[in-house]
Amino acid sequence: MHEQIKRTLSVTSQCIHHDNTRQALSRDARQARGAQHNYEAIVENLLVKHGWVPFLPAAPAQYNVRFGIDVGGVRNDRVMVCLGYGFGAATPIFHAEEIKVDRAQAEPIQDGPLYRGMLALLSQVRAVIDAKRIKPDFEHVLFLRDGDSNGEAGIWQERDAFARLHAEFKQQGWISDQASWVLV
């Protein structure tokens, strides 16, 4: 399914952006009816690159929040983050965003834009959760990074963005001291 959708997009991308997917599938009424189901299946499995096999926990709901992060595009200059929330819930939330970076070569992803992009995405999901009057659960988060999470030696690392995000959530009281966030 991933490859079929990628072939319908006019923009070369290793990661599927939900707006592009909807536009491509909306041209055909039959495909449009199944678009949301197919999109959710893709994001739920966090398939961000052909041939990539993600780490899956033994219990599917073990990680309530899952991120898929990849750099792609024709010039390897686009950062895409796919987020799934509420895997133990009847109606999980799925969202995807492009993170704007300040460099021509996006990989490794600068820690500042990566942090701001993930915080903005999580804040959007948090607003949806609050609107539905659901108690937020960010205790168990799995980050699936299709890349090495490198940076510039001792100056910065991609991992700094994840640590900063964790610290922000702890400071806001959104997670406890026992929160389990894993970067794979």
Do the domain assignments include residue 103? yes
Per-residue pLDDT of the chain (184 residues; tens, 9 = 90+): 555 655 565 444 444 455 555 555 556 666 665 666 665 555 555 444 433 344 444 555 578 888 888 887 777 788 888 888 887 676 788 888 888 888 777 788 889 999 999 999 998 988 988 998 888 899 999 888 877 778 887 788 888 999 999 999 999 999 999 999 988 8
CB 113 within 8 A of CB 78: no
**79 is a domain residue:** yes
Q: Where are the alpha helices (DSSP H) in the chain?
A: 2-8, 18-26, 29-44, 111-131, 158-171
Indicate whether 92 belongs to any domain.
Answer: yes
Q: What is the pTM of this model?
A: 0.67
Give the C-alpha separation, 45 to 33, whole Å.
Answer: 20
Size (the chain), residues = 184
- For residue 179, give the CATH number of its domain: 3.30.420
Cβ(139)–Cβ(63) under 8 Å?
no
Q: How many domains does the chain have?
A: 1
Look at residue 29 and tell me if it is in a domain.
no
Q: Is residue 38 part of a domain?
A: no
